[in-house]
Amino acid sequence: MKNQNSVFKDYVSSLNEEDLRAIYDRLLYRFSGDLGEVINQIDKNKDIAKFFHSAKGPDEMYDILDSIFSFVEKEYKKRFELISR
């Protein structure tokens, strides 16, 4: 099994702009229902699903989401800051 960071980085880099923006906004602002929507969307990726399903509780789920957000944030800034220059 690939390591977690490699799986997250590959997944995030494969997102189209619309999905990247949606996940970024939901993980950044975390309004009611946002985390559930992100998990449902990301869980469709079988490699990431393994990490979610192996979480031993909500704290581990939040840790996974925080880790994914770090990659989402980097990719978001890379793509959209380059566009705005």
Q: Tell me the per-residue pLDDT of 15-57, one tens digit each, with 9 for 90 and over.
A: 999 999 999 999 999 999 999 999 999 999 999 999 999 999 9
What pLDDT, on the 0 to 100 scale, is given for residue 1? 55
Q: For residue 32, what is the DSSP state? A: T
Residue 74: helix, strand or coil by DSSP?
Answer: helix
Q: For residue 57, what is the DSSP state? A: S
| pTM for the full predicted model | 0.88
* Helices vs strands, H then E, count in the chain: 5, 0
The CA distance from 30 to 44, in Å, is 20
What pLDDT, on the 0 to 100 scale, is given for residue 81? 81
